[in-house]
Amino acid sequence: MGAQNGKDLLIKVDLTGDKQFSTIAGLRATRISFNAESVDVTSLESQGGWRELLAGAGVKTASISGSGVFRDADTDERARQIFFDGEIPDFQVVIPDFGIVEGPFQVTALEYAGSHNGEATYEMAMASAGVLSFTVL
């Protein structure tokens, strides 16, 4: 796999609950992170005093973040509504030449900024809220 355009890493939201995903408007930077909590089961009997971890245990999480230019499009309105209503809809993250991550996320932060001589910008952060699926492209 060769180098990919960063603009092709897309965050999409299900606008109506019918699995029709639309790219969130105005994004210029996007990121997805995966984490797995470890469960330490080290004891006095652990060989050589090395730490032991319990396979398959612990909490898995994913977080999405993005920032961009405020456009006041349908997807901007939907993101605001998701935050204020406390909804947990499905999102998709398209990772170019790799796959699509899909599942429920909660919008945990929504920030707007602007300066008198620049464009209005926004940042949003989301946390996984259930089982995620991965589809290979």
Task: Domains for the chain: give ranges and CATH numbers.
Answer: 6-136 (2.30.110)
Q: What is residue 83's DSSP assignment?
A: H
Largest CA distance in the chain: 65
- For residue 94, the cross-strand partners are 10, 100
Whether 109 has a pLDDT exceeding 70, the answer reads yes
pLDDT confidence tier of residue 102, bands split at 50, 70 and 90: very high
Residues ≥6 apart with Cβ < 8 Å to 71: 25, 26
Q: What tokens appear for 68 in the block?
A: 């961009």
Residue range 36-43: average pLDDT? 95
Per the CB < 8 A criterion, the answer to whether 89 and 81 are in contact is no
Question: Using alpha carbons only, how large is the chain's radius of gyration in Å?
Answer: 19
Question: Can you give the pTM of this predicted structure?
Answer: 0.86
Q: How confident is the model at residue 59 (pLDDT cuts 50, 70, 90)?
A: very high
